[in-house]
Amino acid sequence: MRHLLLFISFLFSVSISFAQTNSVEAGGSQAMENYAQLASGNGASYGNSMMFYNPKRYIDGTVHLFESWNNTAVIHTISDDKFLVKRVNLNLKRNSFEAKMNDSDSIFSFTFNNIKKIVINNKTYKNFYYDDDNRVYEMLYDTDQYKFMKGFNVKLISGSANPMVNRPNDRYVRGEEFFIMINGSISDVKLKKKSIYRLLNIDKLSTSKLDMFIESNNLSLKKVDDIIKLLEYYSNI
pLDDT tens by residue, 128-177? 988 778 899 999 999 998 999 999 999 887 766 666 656 667 888 899 99
Strands 51-52 and 106-109, by their bridges, are: antiparallel
pLDDT tens by residue, 3-51? 444 344 434 433 333 334 333 333 334 434 444 455 444 445 566 545 5
Residue 234 lies in a domain: yes
3-state helix, strand, coil in the chain (%, to 5): 25, 35, 40
Q: How many domains does the chain have?
A: 2
Residue 183 lies in a domain: no
Give the domain extent around 113.
Answer: 2-135
Q: Domain boundary residue among 113, 135, 157?
A: 135
Looking at the structure, tell me whether residues 38 and 103 fall in a common domain: yes
Residue 170 lies in a domain: no
Looking at the structure, tell me whether residues 125 and 16 fall in a common domain: yes
Residue 154 lies in a domain: no
Which residue from 206, 236, 237, 232 is spatially nearest to 219, judged by alpha carbons? 232
Q: What is the model's pTM?
A: 0.75
Looking at the structure, tell me whether residues 119 and 195 fall in a common domain: no
